[in-house]
Amino acid sequence: MPTIICICSKCSSCKITVDGVQQPGCRVAASTHLDHERKDKRPRTPEEKCPTSSSSVPKRSMAPDPPKGTESVGQLFNLLTDVLDITFPLEYLVTMICVLATWLHLRAGVSRSVANITLQAIHLIISTTLQIVEAILFSSGINIKLSNIKIPRDICTTYTHHFTEPDIIRTACCPTCFSLYSSPIPYKCQWKESPRSRPCNTDLWKCKNTPKGPKMVPRRLYTTQSFDSWIRFFLSRPIIVDSLEETAQRCTNNPPAFGAEMRDIQDSPAWRDVTGHLFNPHRLVFGLLYYYD
């Protein structure tokens, strides 16, 4: 027979557990529940209304009692946040964002302004998301300060902080005769076509307005890359190492016959005479060929 939870004046003194929560009441049959309701609706005598003094009978609330341990949950989280420095490491996330912006700028061909807007938009989205998470946790009684994410706002800053910059050498250059000047740079070009001719006298400096005020800068710079840094970058690529080993294996196992077609300088018999029999794929020889007609 199905039972019903009765919360009449008699059954309310009992306790019953419903879904893990204790509440006043008692499970009784449907007919018993009706009898209890009739008795509660029946007018009571003065003796039934006040069987004892009101001070000796404690008042019971009809609201369910909170589950055990609920009162200490907020205190536990506050203790953890006070004792432990809860932070979220975002270095890897920043690196991935910088890689994405670099790929867009170098591989996809987007402009510098578009790459900068992408970085700023991602920074705004992530910062807003972290603020929303903080507000949600704070409303639940968890006071956690999330780490501030620092994403570069410019693609040049991304290159500087997260990637290896090439070793660039900039030399002052005359815009008229293209003569090069190392430090110290004169104010005017002193090149002469002949010892008795007049000097070029082209201004090598100009005034440029900067956020910190006017500044004198060279009019033109001739930019080159350091050979040492370039060769380290070139040989660190896996495809270059694989190509060197493949070429060395081909030349050693299948050397071209005399008079046969040569596809590379290493197929030349004269090249083999220079390198000798102890051919090493990691032994690099550089040459410069200059034609003058």
d(CA 134, CA 151): 19
pLDDT-derived band at 80 (thresholds 50, 70, 90) equals: very low
CA within 13 Å, CB half, 273: 3
- Residue holding tokens 């970085």? 119
195 upstream amide cis, omega within 30 of 0: no
d(CA 282, CA 279): 9
Nearest CA among 270, 279, 272 for reference residue 244 = 279
d(CA 59, CA 40): 17
**The predicted structure's pLDDT at residue 168:** 85
45-49, 184-188, 200-204, 258-262: the lowest-pLDDT one? 45-49
Query: Is the pLDDT confidence value at 57 over 50?
Result: no
Phi, psi of 13, rounded to the nearest 5 degrees: -75, -10
Number of Cβ within 10 Å of residue 11's Cβ equals 18
Per the structure block, which two tokens stand in for 189? 């070009």
Per-residue model confidence as pLDDT tens digits over 137-158: 888 777 777 767 788 889 888 8
**The predicted structure's pLDDT at residue 16:** 76
232 or 80, higher pLDDT:
232
**The predicted structure's pLDDT at residue 25:** 77
Query: Is the pLDDT confidence value at 111 over 70?
Result: yes
Q: pTM of the entire structure? A: 0.40
23-37, 77-91, 102-116, 223-237: the lowest-pLDDT one? 77-91
User: Rg of the chain's alpha carbons, rounded to an integer?
Assistant: 43
289 or 127, higher pLDDT:
127
Helix, strand, or coil (residue 224): strand
Per-residue model confidence as pLDDT tens digits over 202-236: 999 999 998 889 999 999 999 998 888 888 878 87
Per-residue model confidence as pLDDT tens digits over 241-251: 888 888 777 77
Helices (H) and strands (E) in the chain, counts: 9, 9
d(CA 88, CA 81): 13
**The predicted structure's pLDDT at residue 175:** 92
Q: Please state the rounded mean pLDDT for residues 95-116.
A: 89
Q: Are strands 213-218 and 168-173 parallel, antiparallel or unpaired?
A: unpaired
Number of Cβ within 10 Å of residue 26's Cβ equals 20
Q: Are strands 180-181 and 15-18 parallel, antiparallel or unpaired?
A: unpaired
Q: Are strands 168-173 and 221-225 parallel, antiparallel or unpaired?
A: antiparallel
**The predicted structure's pLDDT at residue 206:** 92
Torsion of CA 100, 106, 109, 110, to 10 degrees: 50
**The predicted structure's pLDDT at residue 120:** 92
Phi, psi of 26, rounded to the nearest 5 degrees: -150, 140
